[in-house]
Amino acid sequence: MATNQQRREAAKRKLERQLVRRAEQAKRRRIIGVGVTVGVVVVVAGLVVILSTQSGGDDAAGEQQPGESSQAAPSEEINIPTERVEPVARTQPLPNPTSCDYPASGEPAKPVDPPNGQDVSSEGTVKVNLQSTAGDIPLTLDRSLAPCAVNSFVSLSEQGYYTDSACHRIGTTGLQMLQCGDPTGNGSGGPGYSFADETYPELKYGRGVLAMANSGPDTNGSQFFMVFGDAPLTPDYTVFGTIDDAGLKVIDEVARGGHDGAFDPSPGGGKPNTEVKFTGVTVG
């Protein structure tokens, strides 16, 4: 029969073995936990790579825009080109004056009259200043590029259509642009009329370019986008002017603030985290 001393020593040895086993089990759990964490990081990184390499896809709700992929978080470092891309002039000037057709199309997002499409000038420029909660965004509209788009934009501006509306979408990677012009704020609203594209094969898009958004051929309305960086687009979007340097600085800061990813993965981008709401628009 074992003595009390022997029993105590046996119990001590058993306890030591239990402590060793527990330590080994805890170590294995830590290793497994790290492995799972690494696995999750790898999967997430893979998804980011997949999303960031996707582009194209002209299927934004209401207004057609090629896709822009990954979401930009607040204060995320964004690569914004500094070199402007000037719009390419038409090889053949348009007749001056010209005429524009603005047929009815859907319900207007805000009551407005269609512009007068008779004797529309196709020469000269128009200065417009978009006063916004993020800062002023001065524009120069060019009638020689798209007289019907300029005529419509000026008409809507003078009727107060854009006032109190907020830009609903910004893209910060792939297609770097700020999209505005829908009073409903969801990307599907328009002025209740449309007009034809004023495009040509030589069109190029890039930093400083102002263009019309659309939902397919000849469906221009009130929505427009301001390009502040890269824009790998086909010449399917009517270019009707440029963004002045002061306006680009404002948009750059809005872009650096990121977006909420509401339009990811297609067409991409989201509502700007920094609100851009037009408090007034001056023409001339």
pLDDT of 172-206, one tens digit each?
999 999 999 999 999 999 999 999 999 999 999 99
Across the range 93-100, mean pLDDT stands at: 98
Cβ neighbours around 85 below 10 Å, total: 17
The structural domain count of the chain equals 2
Q: Which of 17, 36, 53 is the last residue of a domain?
A: 53
Question: Are 204 and 215 part of one and the same domain?
Answer: yes
Cβ neighbours around 10 below 10 Å, total: 11
Q: Which of 53, 70, 89 is the last residue of a domain?
A: 53
For the cut 70, the answer to whether the pLDDT of residue 85 exceeds it is yes
Q: Is the dihedral of CA 233, 171, 56, 218 positive or negative?
A: negative
- Report the CATH number that the domain containing residue 186 is assigned in CATH: 2.40.100.10
pLDDT of residue 267: 87
Question: Are 101 and 170 part of one and the same domain?
Answer: yes
Question: Are 153 and 203 part of one and the same domain?
Answer: yes
For the cut 80, the answer to whether the pLDDT of residue 38 exceeds it is no
77 vs 257: CA distance, rounded Å: 9
Question: Are 26 and 64 part of one and the same domain?
Answer: no
Give the chain's end-to-end CA distance (angstroms, integer): 110
For the cut 60, the answer to whether the pLDDT of residue 120 exceeds it is yes
Question: Are 118 and 152 part of one and the same domain?
Answer: yes
Question: Are 237 and 130 part of one and the same domain?
Answer: yes
77 vs 240: CA distance, rounded Å: 30
Question: Are 140 and 77 part of one and the same domain?
Answer: yes
Question: Are 94 and 27 part of one and the same domain?
Answer: no
Across the range 237-249, mean pLDDT stands at: 98
191 vs 217: CA distance, rounded Å: 17
Question: Are 173 and 284 part of one and the same domain?
Answer: yes
- Indicate the pLDDT class of residue 11, thresholds 50, 70 and 90: low
Across the range 25-54, mean pLDDT stands at: 36
Domain holding 94, by residue range, is 55-284
Percentage, residues of the chain above pLDDT 70:
73
Question: Are 282 and 171 part of one and the same domain?
Answer: yes
Question: Are 240 and 255 part of one and the same domain?
Answer: yes
Question: Are 20 and 155 part of one and the same domain?
Answer: no
Phi-psi category of 104—alpha, beta or left, where left has phi over 0 and alpha has psi -120 to 50? beta
CB 240 within 8 A of CB 207: no
- How distant is the alpha carbon of residue 119 from its chain centre? 35
Residue 224 identity (one-letter amino acid)? F
